[in-house]
Structure 1
């Protein structure tokens, strides 16, 4: 967290809460998005939402005020490499 602004160009805060506590706005938005996407999928006769990225595509088209980004497993792997590199530069005790 010490280097977050330097590494990513934005400030960040870390709030730690015990399990099931500290739900934030994104939790409600995520739940609403999943519920609405499931409902929309059930109303489709031919082209149901069935792949991992389709809910984000549906949301982008139908919920324009909510910004949704889909990250595939390969994207996660690439970001993990970048973050490990950053952490290794900033903390020699990290492995």
Structure 2
């Protein structure tokens, strides 16, 4: 990820992710600052690669960005996925 402090970052974590993975990402977001937020647990979805659930996190993050930071001009979507070999979260990055 290319970080810029004037950008807003929304991170969607798959609903099925382990709590330790979510906690680690939340810790990173807390260190970075207010411009990086995780999608709240009640808005997270279980993403199934290859169907429409891949698009839902993008919509959720766009809505979150509109609520929090209404002055943005561009939306860039970056997607990571669990490794095809059954690896751990984040292998796709």
TM (normalized to structure 1)? 0.24
> Whose helix fraction is larger, Structure 1's or Structure 2's?
1
Q: Which has the higher strand share?
A: 2
Bigger relative CO (Cα 8 Å, ≥ 6 apart): 2
Looking at CA atoms only, which structure, 1 or 2, has the larger radius of gyration? 1
